Amino acid sequence: MSSKDQIIQAIQKVKSDNKTLPEIPEFRVPEDLLATFILSIEGNKGQVISKEDFQSWMEEKGYSKILSNSERLEVSSSQILPSDPHELAELELAILDGQWAAAENGAIWLDDTQLKLRAIPFITEHLVITVPESNILGNMHQAYEKIGAQHSGFGVFIAGPSKTADIEQSLVIGAHGAKSLTVVII
Amino acid sequence: MSHPSKAAEFLKDQAKSHWHDETLWFVRDKRDKISKSIPEWENLRTIASGLKDYVLNNLDTLLLDFEANAKKNGIHVHWAVNAEEHNQIVHSILEKHDCKAIVKSKSILTEECHLNPYLEKRGVEVVDTDLGERIVQFLQQPPSHIVLPAIHLKKGDISEIFHEKLKTEKGNEDPTYLTHAARLHLREKFLKAKVAITGVNFGVAETGEFVVCTNEGNADMGVHLADVHIACMGIEKIIPRRKDLGVFLRLLARSATGQPITNYNSHFRSPEPGKEIHIVLLDNGRTRQLAREKFKNSLKCIRCGACMNTCPIYRRSGGYSYGSTVPGPIGSILSPGIDVKKYSTLPFASTLCGSCSDVCPVKINIHEQLYEWRQEITKANPDMAKGMSMKMASGIFTSPLAYKISGSLMRKSLKALPKSIIYNPLNVWGKERDLPNPPKESFKEWYKKNRP
């Protein structure tokens, strides 16, 4: 008997009465979605700026190795999209478009369409994600309602920069992935 | 070694154990604050618990759906009845790809299977990439907490081992400095690894996808740079629908660390072009636990660690005192299911205060199961839990006169006795405890004077 059959049979032997699958009701969401979203991102140690401020932010930072997949911001990439992500090991800034965001926790959804190469938001030293204000939802239930039917091979909720508190619970930003997250509201 | 004797080891360094206690309580406090910021918190817990009830009652069909959908998406699905088979499967994938070095991100399941020593014996370098896990790996220790693997260590310990392994400055204990040294060291490993192993937080039957949550981004750094991703998953990690993730992701990080969500929540549905994803579905005693009516709810666990942070025993005895892969209250009801002899003292490492059940995001009745395990263990081994003191107490409680005399004697002697008698090595109870000031009179005496 295969391992699969063994496991399935062991489960079937002890099957009890059928339970019903709980439904998930609609919950109340914060009234000011943008303000809540900004607070959430800041709590996650990211920052939020407006589209108007983006240009001066770029000038101030002066990054030179840039890869942008954004269709919402006009930035010229200094790096072409490689087929091998290892070529992005020195990438300083990646700019990506977010699809949907949840105000309650700052989570922003992106999938293969926006990422193009899955390693980008993780391997880059700094990350910018654009979010249209109208795409900010209340909570995760609403977010899954929006993305529920999508069939992307990979999708991710990103809510802040890479962080850790594994040394004496002291928060340190920039563990392995992006050392900063800047969200640009469109 | 029993839980009490290992707890005593931990308590030798009083300053450190005190810090451990307070730090975990701080995390528990953060969890309280953030859970209260969501009015529907209790409702979410009830729904999550109900979803897991459904899962436990339909595990066969959900697993078969999951497999069928994952295969449709181009994912290779393997089944393992035990740890040995799990390790063989992982090793055979590595051999096929001629891989001698892998990166791994936090997976309690691979700890449970002792995958690292299995692979190392076969010439494979295993690098744990979660910072806390890398630290304990350097020290050749297992994690002491499922979410905070190095919580038993102070920055001085970490500075020392990093100086030895990563050539950081001697004596530099700055967490930022040490973390960034680990970043550089691990980046090199990420860039070289051909195969990455991760755990799984949730597997979705409806879509065949699985979800991995981290704050560091280490799981993603590993898998997106590697050619092959092996995801190791316990069969109980299945959930029915994609939308159920909304419930669980809202509960998980809030319960674990008091943050609203982990910063990276990755959903893997099919491999990137030219790459491979493998899932290993592991039983290893889970179906046995499922068959135990009183204990099957323990399989609802989503590994948030909230029960550890709140537990007065865990906080004061440290993760290693449990000697099991999953420590703390949840570990004390899971582990006896795996080996009741080896873990016979764990269900007694509890005050049965019920705080673990109160914070559990999927409402596992942990403290009731601890009590049930005590019954099972005592039935199987009647000598257990009947030390001299218990026998003495039973003598006193059965005779009203003895009870009365012993009470007033005790009130007097508590004041008069030198500490050396209460805190002598024969009195296990006196260890790490201080006695209260004895009241002048018993409740009975007080009641006689004050009753209306």
Residue B414 burial (CB < 10 Å; 0-12/13-18/19+)?
A: middle
CA distances from B85 to B81, B82, B91, B337 (A): 7, 5, 10, 20
Cα B450 to Cα B169: distance, rounded to the nearest angstrom: 69
Confidence bin at A18 (pLDDT 50/70/90)? confident
A53/B448 Cα distance (integer angstroms): 78
Please name which of B116, B63, B72 lies closest in space to residue B282, comparing C-alpha atoms: B63
| Rounded CA separation B261/B434 (Å) | 40
The pLDDT value recorded for residue B234 is: 98
Nearest to A169 among B23, B176, B247 (CB): B23
Stretch A1-19: mean pLDDT: 91
CA distance B374 to B366: 12
Which of residues 108 through 137 in chain B touch A, CB cutoff 8 A? 129-132, 135
Smallest CA–CA distance from B269 into chain A, residue: A153
Answer for the pair B134, A164: CB distance below 8 angstroms, yes or no.
Answer: no
Q: In angstroms, rounded to a whole number, what is the distance separating the alpha carbons of residues A82 and B10?
A: 51
Say which of A4, A10, A175 has its CB closest to residue B216: A175
- Residues of chain B with Cβ-Cβ distance to A118 below 8 Å are 220, 224, 272
Picking from B63, B80, B148, the nearest residue to A166 by CB comes out as: B148
Residue A128 pairs with which residues in a beta bridge? A95, A182
Contact yes or no for A19 and B57 at CB 8 A: yes
Domains and CATH numbers, chain B: 38-284 (3.40.50.10420), 393-450 (no CATH)
* Superfamily covering domain A29-76+87-185: NagB/RpiA/CoA transferase-like (3.40.50.10420)
**Chain A residues in contact with B51 (beta carbon < 8 A):** 21-22
CB contact under 8 A, A139 and B246: yes
**Residue B452 CB contacts under 8 Å (≥ 6 apart), including other chains:** none
Residue carrying the six token digits 């907490």:
B145
Chain B from 263 to 282: CB within 8 A of any A CB: 263-272, 281
Q: How near does any CA of chain B get to the CA of A110, in Å?
A: 10
Whether residue B285 lies within 8 A of chain A, CB to CB, comes out as no
Question: Which one of A11, A144, A162 has the shortest CB-CB distance to B245?
Answer: A144
- The CA distance from B421 to B387, in Å, is 18
Judge whether B80 is closer than 8 Å to chain A, CB to CB: yes
Most A CBs within 10 Å, among B189, B194, B212, B216, to test the A interface: B216
- Rounded Cα–Cα distance for residues B369 and B354 (Å): 10
State the nearest Cα–Cα gap between B254 and chain A, in angstroms: 10
- Contact between B150 and A141 using a beta-carbon 8 Å cutoff: no
Q: From chain B, pick out residues whose CB is under 8 angstroms from the CB of A152.
A: 269
* A121 Cα to chain B: minimum distance (Å): 9
Provide the residue-wise pLDDT of chain B in tens; the chain has 452 residues: 789 999 999 999 999 999 999 999 999 999 999 999 999 999 999 999 999 999 999 999 999 999 999 999 999 999 999 999 999 999 999 999 999 999 999 789 999 999 999 999 999 999 999 999 999 999 999 999 999 999 999 999 999 999 999 999 999 999 999 999 999 999 999 999 999 999 999 999 999 999 999 999 999 999 999 999 999 999 999 999 999 999 999 999 999 999 999 999 999 999 999 999 999 999 999 999 999 999 999 999 999 999 999 999 999 999 999 999 999 999 999 999 999 999 999 999 999 999 999 999 999 999 999 999 999 999 887 766 555 445 555 555 556 666 666 666 666 666 666 555 555 555 555 555 666 777 778 888 888 888 87
- Alpha carbons B368 and B354: distance in angstroms, whole number: 8
- Tally Cβ neighbours within 10 Å of residue B419: 10
Contact: B261, A105; criterion CB under 8 Å: yes
What is the least distance, in Å, from the CA of A180 to any CA of chain B?
12
- What does the pLDDT average to over A17-38? 93
- Within 10 angstroms of residue A68's Cβ, the number of other Cβ atoms is 21
* Structure ipTM: 0.98
A114 interaction partners in chain B (CB closer than 8 Å): none
A125-144 pLDDT, tens digit per residue, is 999 999 999 999 999 999 99
Detail the DSSP E strand segments found in A41-164: 47-50, 66-68, 93-97, 100-102, 108-111, 126-131, 136-137, 154-158, 163-164
Per-window interface: B 419-448 vs A, CB < 8 A: none
Place of tokens 């409806």: B206
How many contacts does A have with B, using Cβ atoms within 8 A? Answer: 239
B73: contact with A, CB 8 A cutoff: yes
Cβ neighbours for B116, distance < 8 A, ≥ 6 positions apart: B104, B110, B126, B128, B137
CB of B172 within 8 Å of a chain A CB? The answer is no
Hey, is the C-beta of B290 within 8 angstroms of any chain A C-beta? yes
B350 touches chain A (CB under 8 A): no
> What's the CA gap between B217 and B11, in Å, rounded?
34
Q: How much is the pLDDT for A149?
A: 80
Handedness of CA B331, B333, B338, B340 (dihedral sign): positive
Distance from CA of B80 to the nearest CA of A (A): 6
Distances (CA, A) of B82 to A109, A131, B94: 36, 45, 19
Contacts A122 to B, Cβ<8 Å: 217, 220-221, 224, 264
Maximum distance among all alpha carbons in chain A?
Answer: 66
- Domain map (residue ranges) of chain A: 29-76+87-185
3-state class of A112 per DSSP?
A: helix
Q: Which residues contact A126 (CB under 8 A, 6 or more apart)?
A: A61, A63, A92, A93, A94, A178, A179, A180, A182
Cβ contacts (< 8 Å) between B235 and chain A: which residues?
7
Residues B317, B349 contacting (CB under 8 angstroms): yes
d(CA B154, CA B159): 9
Residue A92 distance to chain B (closest CA, Å): 15
CA distance B228 to B275: 6
pLDDT(A40) > 90: yes
